[in-house]
Amino acid sequence: MAEPISVAVRRGGTVESIHRVHAVAVNDGEIVGDAGDPELVTFMRSAAKPIQVLPLARERDDLDDPELAIASASHMADEDQLAAARSLLAKAPATEDDLECGPDGDPPRRINHNCSGKHAGMLALCHAKGWPYEGYRLADHPCQQVMLAEVTSLAGAGEIPTAVDGCGVVTFALPLRSMALAFARFERIAGGEAVANAMRAHPELIRGHGALDTSLMQAFPGWIAKGGAEGLLCATTPEGLGLALKVEDGSHRALRPALGAFLAQLGLGGSEFGPVSIRNSRNEVVGELAAC
């Protein structure tokens, strides 16, 4: 097994911390590059959102690109993102009170939660299928059962361990290799092209300015990418090369330099994702995060 990518935190020339990052690239079902353990099992968290949108894309041909993009997003509640979330919610049709993600943001409201677009999309799917809105987030609701089946199929997995995500819906535990495989296959199945095109057209809706998944799609036109909590990133190229990276200790800050190192290892460039400066409260550069 190859060594994980080590991302060092240096302050004043002294190494203060080390983050270990596991990464894998999959093409045509085969591992073509790795660092660390490609079989590391972790939760997919919000990186699963584009996959969770696939049943919606197949059922609802009345949705536009911003609505499909925000359903795939972990947004920052900026004006354009909230407009897309409200538009999707209205098309469900549903109200903010129907969202089961809980309140967040300033002021705390359900629509301001970073997963409100995903939840609005789930309500729109429930409307199309004739399923009850109440409890759509719960594991025994047909909405979540469809999501589990979608992830299982794309990842080529057997029985998937599940838990409750931060927004209340089901989240899926998979090996990194299976996550990369799911993203590699993503655009080849029904609904995948529509969701991928929406994400490419509106990367700023997927997370927001400066976020790694948004930045990756902007730097590499044609790619799609989605981050997840606890230091996870999944992506795929237009040619179907799937990637998954996970920071072992869950620290998101190590992902950017690790991505740059892994892209360079794969011969895909990656200079846009090099060392990250560490600044103090005076905005002075006092150190950096960089792949060793």
- Residue 288 CA, chain-centre distance (Å), reads 25
Q: Do residues 144 and 170 lie in contact, with contact meaning Cβ atoms separated by under 8 Å? A: yes
Q: Tell me, what's the pLDDT at 203?
A: 98
Return the DSSP state at 110.
Answer: S
Query: Could you report the per-residue pLDDT of 195-225, keeping only the tens digit for each?
Result: 999 999 999 999 999 999 999 999 999 999 9
Q: Structure pTM? A: 0.97
Q: Tell me, what's the pLDDT at 183?
A: 98
> What is the arithmetic mean of pLDDT over 188-194?
97
DSSP SS3 for 46: helix
CA distance 14 to 227: 30
Centre a 10 Å sphere on the Cβ of residue 163 and count the other Cβ atoms it contains: 11
Query: Could you report the per-residue pLDDT of 83-118, keeping only the tens digit for each?
Result: 999 999 999 999 999 999 999 999 999 999 999 999
Q: Is the pLDDT of residue 1 over 90?
A: no
Sorting pLDDT into bands at 50, 70 and 90, what band is 157?
confident
Q: Is the pLDDT of residue 194 over 80?
A: yes
Q: Is the pLDDT of residue 259 over 80?
A: yes
DSSP string, 124-168: HHHHHHT--STTTTSTTSHHHHHHHHHHHHHHT-SSPPEEE-TTS
Contacts of 14 (CB under 8 A, 6+ apart): none
Number of domains the chain contains: 1
Query: Could you report the per-residue pLDDT of 117-139, keeping only the tens digit for each?
Result: 999 999 999 999 999 999 999 99
Q: Tell me, what's the pLDDT at 288?
A: 97
Q: Could you tell me the residue range of the domain that residue 53 belongs to?
A: 5-291
Structure tokens at 223: 């790619």
Q: Tell me, what's the pLDDT at 28?
A: 93
Structure tokens at 91: 């098309």
- Residue 136 CA, chain-centre distance (Å), reads 21
CA distance 173 to 250: 15
Site of tokens 């998937």: 160
Domain containing 168 — which CATH number? Answer: 3.40.710
Query: Could you report the per-residue pLDDT of 2-61, keeping only the tens digit for each?
Result: 899 999 999 988 999 999 999 999 999 999 999 999 999 999 999 999 999 999 999 999
